[in-house]
Chains A and B, each alone.
Chain A
Amino acid sequence: MTDEAQAAARRVADAVARRSYGKLVAYLAARTGDVAGAEDALAEAFAAALADWPAKGCPETPEAWLLTVARRKAADAGRRGRTAMAASGRLKLIAEELEAAAAAPEIPDRRLALMFACAHPAIDPAMHAPLMLQAVIGLDAARIASAFLVSPAAMGQRLVRAKGKIRRAGVPFAIPPREALAERSEAVLDAIYAAFAEGWSDPSGADPARRDLTEEAMFLARLAAELMPDAPEALGLLALMLYAEARRPARRGPGGEYVPLADQDPALWVAPMIEEAETVLRRAGGLGAIGRRQLEAALQSAHVARGRAGLSNWAETVQLYDALYALTASPVVAVNRALALAETKGAAAGLAAMPAEDERLAAYQPYWAARAELLARNGEAEGARHAYDLAIGLELDPAVRAFLQRRRAALPT
């Protein structure tokens, strides 16, 4: 097998294993309320699948394969005299559920209910994304920890604590009733986007843990869209993430330097991903309920159309920002709207439309970068220099920092 074929086989096996693993964890956890117990029961089988399947090919019935191995491991553990553990009520219950699952003709897909449990309002919002990454797709705590810039030990503890809360407090594994559905879905989509944003903050893809997380977040977004096909915002989120991901290859130059959207080469954008995003966004639009994520995706679509066809659609872009601002009242949206407005009405109009500086914006790098850009275009070099200084000081990414420094150096003295 060539390296490429091997990598492809690993990707397929990985995806199949994670789908089946997540389905089984969700099924067992929904029956027992015990996420950690379900993960423990399947851990060895899942590890065996990740090791075996890339070389031997995926089994025809992956869930049955995992269940067979999990039951054998459970039986082995019992025989090895781990009686104290085997006799504990929780493990016995899980073992019984394993048997019941093996006898069932088909494992029902309860992954959406598991996602709702992970993003339940009784669980710390900061743990929604890590919980989902672990329970639904089987990422280990160390990988999640590195993406969220937390020590593995701390992340492990928080995950244990959150799962303990789900089990002991009786957090339900269920699709929320209609009147609560919109709000609760928001929490699920927020968590998925949080996982994606962690991955996206490493645009060069240099940090493997972070790059992988983008793929995992995409998996969750596809899953949410698949399991909630009538939820326009779930589709909007998937479209939004596809647009962003499609531009990844263009976000860095050959030397690793930051390339802003306006200067990106559209030929480097991943065309099939953009086509998929357009299709998904159209489907969302057809459901007739506009929302924040659909508008954000529509803005991405406008950026793509502008870049590809070279057409100026700034007026339409400003309208989309208007709608988004009406929905969110977010100062971040106001900053982007001001930038778009400057393209149609000039830098002075853009500056006038910038939101007043507040505590939150004062520490927000894009606010200062946008200000600097508009001030520079308006011929206010001194103000621009000051704004660039603040933007440079607030930036984490060395490539973006270098880009801002180049801009600042190009200001007339």
Chain B
Amino acid sequence: MNRLKRIMYKSLEMKLSPREQQRLDRAMEKSPQLRRELFLVKEIRSAVQQPKNSFSPWFETKVIHKINTLGNPERIGLSPLLQTYRTATLIGLVAIAAVIVVALVLNGSLSLEATTGLETINAENLTAFLAFEY
């Protein structure tokens, strides 16, 4: 692109210096081709239009849903495995907490017997238990 063309396109974006303007005016007077090019470019600029399109309704809801589906490792800061089984982990933790509370309330102790409801088990007791109780 030659210097004159550059000045012509520049004139569409900003005010030219008096010297540039004078040079462009003189060239425009002489060249019908340059006048046509400027006319066309001006037509193009005025015909270019902002697309009327916008995102579909519930755009935000869809994005939030996708984010929730993907998870957010940065914010939660848990390992992927723990995140995957988050619900199961939470249920397990609640169950353990419940057992501890019940053991404390009923027995006032957190010993193995108190929390599991079994007396100390050894091999002899276990055999007897299985043989006579079942």
Q: Do A and B come from one complex?
A: no
Interface residues, chain B, with chain A CB atoms under 8 Å away: none
Residues of A near any B CB (own CB < 8 A):
none
